[in-house]
Amino acid sequence: MILFIKHIDIEGPGTIGDFLEDNKISSAIVDLSNKDNLPELKKTLQMVISLGGPMNVYEEEKYPFLADENVFLKEIIKRDIPFLGVCLGAQLMVKAIGGTVSKNPKKEIGFYKVSIDEEGLKDNVFRNFPGEITVYQWHGDTFSIPEGGKRIATSELCENQAVKYGRNIYGIQFHVEVTRNMIAEWAEAYEGELASLKGIVSDKQKMLEDYDNLKGEYLKQAERFYVNLFSAANLLKRKSYSLP
């Protein structure tokens, strides 16, 4: 079973959940914002995916569940259980390993280019990817590369876009899982943040237009990432992909 950790109701599994359902891979969701409890670690747990959220990793007083998740992730990492952290989830992963999370020089909201590092191009998770991809971003913080970790993707505005630790522990700063409905919902929920950055980042209309233009390739790119990720964790028989 794959466990999703949610931190807010509007940031769910998205296309990751769709992919697992299509491939008949069982999953469960723990919504920490809904006061769900993290489970005991059992042999039936095959992978953990920690999703995004608007909070900062150090806001444990305001969001006590972050402290519980920190303990949980430390144990996941210690046992080398396959893991994917998305945005906040990646930052929480790095913090649990011993790295740092800080403000990025600029906020990234909308679609941006990300470069796959040389290490990334050799890694299973970016197998058959081009050297540059377009991804969806919504973040103001960034993570360091912890001791023992490897950066596998970068960008002009945010140096550390993806990190690998151990055999199958990954963190990505961007949102591979996003759908059109999620973008629209986030733009409404975080309207104040968008208004404060007017003219600096994409607005709701621009992001939705960009999604519509990129949808076909973006969904193929997401599927390729999931095939690679879950194949590397021995949860899926790998499919063949050629470069676009």
Q: Tell me if 160 sits within 8 A of 129, measured CB to CB.
A: no
- Of the candidates 7, 11, 69, 87, the residue annotated as catalytic is 87
Neighbours of 131 (CB within 10 A): 11
Q: Is 51 helix (H, G, I), strand (E, B) or coil?
A: coil
How far lies 237's CA from each of 96, 185, 195, in Å? 30, 34, 45
Is 177 a catalytic site residue?
yes
Enumerate the β-bridge partners of residue 133.
114
Catalytic residue among 11, 69, 108, 177, which?
A: 177
Q: Is 158 a catalytic residue?
A: no
Cα 64 to Cα 75, 97, 120, distances in angstroms: 18, 19, 34
Nearest to 83 by CA among 170, 177, 22: 170
Q: Which residues contact residue 234 at a Cβ distance below 8 angstroms, ignoring those fewer than 6 apart?
A: none
State the Cα–Cα distance between residues 142 and 94, nearest whole angstrom. Answer: 10
Q: Which of 11, 108, 139, 175 is catalytic?
A: 175
Q: To the nearest 10°, report the CA torsion of 98, 102, 107, 111.
A: -10
Q: Report CA-CA distances (Å) from 105 to 25, 157, 158.
A: 39, 7, 8
Please say if 175 is a catalytic residue.
yes
Catalytic positions, written as ranges: 87, 175, 177
